[in-house]
Amino acid sequence: MYQALYRKWRPKTFDDVAGQEHITTTLRNELKNDRISHAYLFTGSRGTGKTTCAKLLAKAVNCLNPQNGSPCGECEICREIDNGTSIDVFEMDAASNRKIDDIRGIIDEVQGTPYKCRYKVYIIDEVHMLTAESFNALLKILEEPPKHVVFILATTEVHKIMLTIQSRCQRFDFHRIPPRAIADRLLYVANQEDIALDDSAAMLIASVSDGALRDALSLLDRCISISRDVSDEVVRSAAGLADKGYLYDLAACVIHKNAAKALEIVDRLYGEAKDMPLLCDELLTHFRSLMLIKSVKNPRDIVVFTDSEFEQAQTQADYLSLADIVYYMDILSRSYQRMGKGTGDRVEMEMALVKLTAPELDVTNEAIAARITALEKAVKRGITVVAQPAVQTEEPKTEPKAETKTEESAPEETLIDPPAEKEPPKQPAKKPQPAPAPVPAKGGGVDIVALSKNAKPFPQWTEIVESFRTVSKSISAALTGSQAFENGNYLLIQADSDMAFELLRNSERRRDVHNAVFEHTGKHYRLGPYKTAEKKQEEQDPLQSLKQRLKDSGIDYTEE
């Protein structure tokens, strides 16, 4: 019969116990110095090694040939305890044996001397499940225990155990095992079992197991049922996790307030049978990682990311304030709690994403605090926020239609945006400032060369281009290496490749650039190409250039 990995690879010595050195070192020193206590209390979360250490301690105190405080694992006593056939070591589950009669049976048995071992050892797992009467009966034997008896109590909820019981035990707190320690143990087991396990996949299993090595080994068992070549994709499939790419995409939708794309991603994941509560929890964990990146000095030691994932997470964290992130986490947490309680899980997930991408729909205190934070950021950028009047007393000024028509017809100005009719709704209003009038060209329209001549470098352009790395790879590639110059409300782009200008001719891509510029500056610009006089001269008609050179040489040239 197949034996599960967590059972097959249960530690045989204290050296094999992962991530609990503060406990195993103390226990070995006590055993080497023959300072064995009559009662131990092991506490900690599931899968951290409480029962394993209890069995190792039971073997160590009775081992015929101990090795540096650890059991040898080879003598008759060690083999009997491993096989569960030793009559001097008792293991009881208090969840199913919690009545006072069960404890009275133990009290009667401890009076007799051990049959083969040095000590009688009683391991009571989930001891917090005992009734009050059972605790009082156990307290009596702990107050006056026989010299040949050792009690080992294990629990995940130590606060439920009577203080009088705790005070009579030597207490050891088991910590959640660090992800790196779990990953190293998984890699060792995989090597012994002839399993191909990537380090990144081992770290992903460690992250999902939440500090429990037993859970990590169980998940590895499920992975090898799919494939013995365990990669990140195999782990995600076995654990039912959403792809990390989807998490980054959903976070980007929240950052850039793109509700339509967020709902499309959820629809796709739902069609792929992804678990919606698990997806919600994963997205919540993703924003927690962003919170740690912004708050902790060395977040790389805490969050579990590959190098490329960590770089993307840092970029997303730079977009957000702590107030934003905490607000997002609160929305997702409340949605996760409501899942499975009436409304469909998918509906709850979609509602949460719509709230995150349209914060004006949420009137909670946290939502209002997030909006105030956004206004504070706008003020720090130098934007004066004024109240919107209920009734406009003056019509917004627009440029004459004839000028707009001429501007669109000019071939060199096809990238110049038409003037915006009004500011987008729900954005901090900017104090009106007179914008410089467009410089007219000889043939009408806007003289781009004149605008470019008086333009100043736009220092925030590099940061804006960098922001597209996680939002749109096509925009990022097209604008990489480009420069921008500012002249009034015109933003002129200079690029060596025509790819940038081809991209800006696409209305959707141009709108994305507009939104990114506004997010970083709080100001709406009209986009256009940056052209110098030299470049314009080079673009003149070749025939006209030939005529000019003939004229300069003194040759009389007339057209027939």
Which CATH number goes with the domain that contains 311? 1.20.272.10
List Cα–Cα distances, 336 to 92, 101, 273, 279, 349, in angstroms: 36, 42, 18, 10, 8
Residues 78 and 158 in one domain: yes
Paired tokens of 357: 């991408």
Residues 196 and 256 in one domain: no
- Provide mean pLDDT across the span 440-450: 61
Residues 55 and 147 in one domain: yes
Give the CATH number for residue 469: 3.30.300
Residues 334 and 278 in one domain: yes
Domain-embedded: residue 549:
no
Q: Is the pLDDT of residue 284 over 90?
A: yes
pLDDT of residue 403: 41
Residue type, 251: A
pLDDT band, very low/low/confident/very high, at 390 (cuts 50, 70, 90): very low
Q: Please indicate whether residue 470 or residue 237 has the higher confidence score (pLDDT).
A: 237
CA distance 160 to 130: 10
Domain-embedded: residue 543:
no
Residues 43 and 102 in one domain: yes
Q: Is the pLDDT of residue 398 over 60?
A: no
Can you list the positions of beta strands (E) in 62-103?
89-93
Q: Is the pLDDT of residue 553 over 70?
A: no
Q: Is the pLDDT of residue 393 over 70?
A: no
pLDDT of residue 394: 42
CA distance 41 to 12: 21
Per the structure, the complete domain to which residue 468 belongs is given by 401-427+443-538
Contact 98, 160 (CB under 8 A): no
Residues 472 and 420 in one domain: yes
Domain-embedded: residue 388:
no
Paired tokens of 343: 């409304």
Domain-embedded: residue 519:
yes
Residues 258 and 317 in one domain: yes
Q: What pairs with residue 483 in β-bridges?
A: 494
Domain-embedded: residue 554:
no
CA distance 141 to 107: 7
pLDDT band, very low/low/confident/very high, at 402 (cuts 50, 70, 90): very low
> Looking at 189, 217, 239, which one is the last position of a domain?
239
> Looking at 206, 239, 272, which one is the last position of a domain?
239
Can you list the positions of beta strands (E) in 353-482?
456-457
pLDDT of residue 420: 47
pLDDT band, very low/low/confident/very high, at 49 (cuts 50, 70, 90): confident
Burial letters 130-152, b for 16+ CB under 10 A, else e = beeebbebbeebbeebeebbbbb
Strands 39-44 and 170-174 turn out to be: parallel
CA 137 to chain centre: 48
Query: If you average pLDDT over every residue of the chain, what do you get?
Result: 78
Domain-embedded: residue 433:
no
For the chain, how many structural domains are there in total?
4
Residues 306 and 448 in one domain: no
Domain-embedded: residue 391:
no
Give the CATH number for residue 185: 1.10.8.60
Residues 133 and 10 in one domain: yes
Domain-embedded: residue 340:
yes
Contact 183, 202 (CB under 8 A): yes
Residue-wise pLDDT tens digits, 337-347: 989 887 788 99
CA distance 263 to 346: 10
Residue-wise pLDDT tens digits, 54-108: 999 999 988 888 888 888 888 888 888 888 888 888 888 888 877 888 888 888 8
pLDDT of residue 508: 76
Residue-wise pLDDT tens digits, 156-191: 888 988 888 888 899 999 988 888 888 889 999 999
pLDDT band, very low/low/confident/very high, at 466 (cuts 50, 70, 90): confident
Residues 64 and 157 in one domain: yes
Contact 220, 190 (CB under 8 A): yes
Residues 143 and 198 in one domain: no
Residues 162 and 185 in one domain: no
